[in-house]
């Protein structure tokens, strides 16, 4: 196995492991994901597919760059989500608490009735001071570096 293929295997496998971990928390641990948690999963799925394509078509040199872009996308979403959880900035109003000061009674009732069961600004689990979104951001940033190393490898 070439160094390039080994790095692609590690990077795509890392995304697969993070996806499996998320599904484990969801289906085995009973932790329903919020909307932003779901958003972070799509780029990992893309990175896994890109890894498979990179093995199938080793002559396509740009595939590791696409893998890096996918990992960077989920890392960016993870940073944003972690910031929402820490109340550093507001998240999407569809899954976070927002300002209700100027709402009429009917608008407030509509907002309550359409609120998601899992809010994006709550931290359901953390380890060493980092939420799942924070860990996703950190680990995905590492995957970006591995994808870039695969791109540079011969």
For the chain, domains (ranges, CATH) are 3-89+104-152 (1.20.1550)
Q: How far apart are CA 96 and CA 34, in angstroms?
A: 10
Q: Identify the pLDDT of residue 102.
A: 65
Q: How many CB atoms lie within 10 A of CB 132?
A: 24
Q: How far apart are CA 91 and CA 86, in angstroms?
A: 11
- pLDDT bin (cut points 50, 70, 90) of residue 44 is very high
Its pTM stands at 0.83
Q: Identify the pLDDT of residue 103.
A: 65
Mean pLDDT of the chain: 89
pLDDT at 111 over 70: no
Task: Please give the helix or strand (H or E) that residue 123 lies within, else none.
Answer: none
DSSP one-letter code for 104? -
Between 16-20, 26-30, 145-149, the lowest mean confidence (pLDDT) is in 26-30
pLDDT at 75 over 70: yes
């Amino acid at each position: 196995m070439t160094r390039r293929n080994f790095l692609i295997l590690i990077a795509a496998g890392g995304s697969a492991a993070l996806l499996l971990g998320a599904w484990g928390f969801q289906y085995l641990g009973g932790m329903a994901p919020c909307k932003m948690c779901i958003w972070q999963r799509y780029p990992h799925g893309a990175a896994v597919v890109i890894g498979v394509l990179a093995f199938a078509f080793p002559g396509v040199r740009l595939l590791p760059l696409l893998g890096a872009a996918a990992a960077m996308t989920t890392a960016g979403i993870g940073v944003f989500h972690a910031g929402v959880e820490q109340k550093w900035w507001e998240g999407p109003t569809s899954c976070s608490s927002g300002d209700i000061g100027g709402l009429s009674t009917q608008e407030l009732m509509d907002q309550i009735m359409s609120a998601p069961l899992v809010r994006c600004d709550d931290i359901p689990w953390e380890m060493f001071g980092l939420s799942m979104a924070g860990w996703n951001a950190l680990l995905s940033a590492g995957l970006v570096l591995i994808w870039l190393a695969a791109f540079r490898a011969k």
